[in-house]
Structure 1
Amino acid sequence: MPHPLLTHDMIDTYQRDGVIVIRGLFKDHVETLRKGVARNMAEPGPFASENKKDGETGRFFDDYCNWQRIDEFAEVIEKSPAAEVAADLMGSQSTQVFHDHILVKEPGTSMATPWHTDGPYYFVDGVQNVSFWSPLDPVKEAALRCVAGSHAWEKPVMPMRWVANESYFPNKDDYMPVPDPEAEGMDIREWEMEPGDAVAFNYAILHGARGNTSQTRRRAFSLRLLGDDARYVERPGPTSPPFPEHGMNEGERLREDWFPVIYRR
């Protein structure tokens, strides 16, 4: 039987469409995550970024790969049901941590999160994967938006540098251009969400988010997890996250001392 937060229909939908919403996945850990985000913003890591173009208003802060130094994030990874839920969604016998990510849009932030897919930025190959995106504030207009079924497209979407709006890698022919889902009438899924709800989506899903024009913050915690078939893959340049000096070779499982297995059936 799947975890009580899931149904068989939800698992089938995740496999078919690449995205679902899970109500209350982190509901018992919202305050802990808020404390972790506050600490992360007060003590940014080496990959912290202020995403703001000329003329944009507000503040869009993000940072990743901090769970091993921020106890609140480590606690939630260990104690929340995310690892078991991930295994059910992925159809995997195990769940491995890839990384955490926070994305904070302060009130009046005009910059949208551009449409993109995460997979091409990563050095991971495989179809058994899931990202959980969980708001720590109620969201209506600034929720995550995902294009259902885009994980099954023939070509991956070209990874771009968000602020510079240029290709992340030189091998452009290996990718399709970033589409305009609204103009092209694609099946965009988005939900009004409460703190602790989570969107679960495959690394190959095209997604983005509007700016935060509300009068309240939009803090989001994202957790990226891997399943049995995850393998290291070389990319034509530095990946994001880069994980310098990881020492892995093409086709290997990700090293468990850096990317621990947190659930086994």
Structure 2
Amino acid sequence: MKNAPSAETCAAFARDGAVVLRGLFADHVAALRAGVAANLAAPGPHAAENTVDGEAGRFFDDYVNWHRIPAFEAAARDPRIAGAAAALMASDRVQLFHDHVLVKEPGTSRPTPWHQDGPYYFVCGRQTVSFWVPLDPVEEATLRLVAGSHLWDKPVLPTRWLSEEAFFPGDYRPVPDPDAEGMTVLEWPMAPGDAVAFSFDTLHGARGNEARSRRRAFSLRFVGDDARVVARPGATSPPFPGHGMAPGDRLREDWFPTVWPVPVAKTANG
């Protein structure tokens, strides 16, 4: 595969839980910007506004819109992107889990809180990867990730972003303050179309957007060979109501399509 992640990059991903891939989504930036505009104009059922009354700016997010926004599905099915996911996960097979849009308007002081994605999901496994892709240049409002946190022996408490209440009960590690605790935080200035790749279990967050321009980010989440459905003590995020799967199942392919290996198109003769 052309421009596949190098062996060194894959090793860094396994070690740190996060790497930057320059220009991976460069061919999709214009289409994704249009897709985000369509998403903002017509939010889906999971859309959220992540600021409180009287707080400056706007922090919008929404997910699971690839079915209705063609640019999102096109990026997920791009062989270069899906193949990069396969290489990083060391997986023979890649399924799309979901897409995610996050927009911080200028002057939005609210940060994205520190969290791991995995504890919110009904799927678990070591072979997972998210791509976080800025559609605007970012310096201060880029993604921040704690190196090696995907290997911690206990997951971090999932919380609700505004109230900071626990999303689920359970035996979790308290949400840390990586800066105060001297953890190694990875972050990169990024151009539109660059991508940070990180494990579902990597602790991450982002500062507010104090710049004079908006910060649009698009994310794709993929799972690999060892991903299985897991039971949670409540509705997950995303919830995927009525999915009909049981703990231990692979994700159903009619809801979570296989994008690698690239499916072979069927002809009229089969």
Q: TM-score, normalised by structure 2?
A: 0.95
Q: Is the partner of 1:39 in helix, strand or coil?
A: helix
Match of 1:237 among 224, 234, 239: 234
Matched, 1:263 2:257: no
Please state how far the C-alpha of 1:109 moved relative to its aligned partner.
0.5
The 3-state SS of whatever aligns with 2:76 is helix
CA positional deviation for 1:74: 1.3
Inter-partner Cα distance in structure 1 for 2:102 and 2:17: 21
Shift of 1:76: 1.7
Deviation string, structure 1 residues 31-67 (Cα, Å, up to 9, x no partner): 0000000000101000000000244210000000000
Question: Structure 1: any 5+ residue segments left out of the alignment?
Answer: none
**1:146 and 1:207 in contact (8 A); partners too:** yes
CA distance in 2, matches of 1:80, 1:108: 37
Q: In the aligned structure 2, how far is the partner of 1:12 from the partner of 1:233?
A: 27
Which stretch of the first structure deviates more once superposed, 28-37 or 68-77?
68-77
Tell me which amino acid in the other structure corresponds to 1:191: W
Q: Which amino acid aligns with 1:264?
A: P
| 1:55-74 alignment, distance < 5 Å | 55-74=54-73
2:108/2:208 contact within 8 Å kept: yes
Q: State how 1:1-265 maps to structure 2 within 5 Å.
A: 3-79=2-78, 81-171=80-170, 174-264=171-261
Task: Tell me the distance in 2 between the aligned counterparts of 1:62 and 1:49.
Answer: 5
4+ residue runs over 6 A deviation:
none
Shift of 1:125: 1.3
In 1: Cα distance, 2:39 partner to 2:214 partner: 16
Pair 33,80 (structure 1): closer, same or farther in 2 beyond 3 Å: farther
CA RMSD of aligned residues (A): 1.1
Cα deviation 1:83-122 (Å, max 9, x = unaligned): 1000000000011000000000000101000000000000
Contact 1:3–1:84, Cα closer than 8 Å, also in 2: no
Alignment partners' CA distance in 1, 2:198 and 2:72: 20
Identity %: 62
Is the CA contact 2:124–2:229 (under 8 Å) kept in the aligned structure 1? Answer: yes
Q: Which runs of 5+ in 2 are unaligned?
A: 263-270
What secondary structure sits across from 2:259 in the alignment?
strand
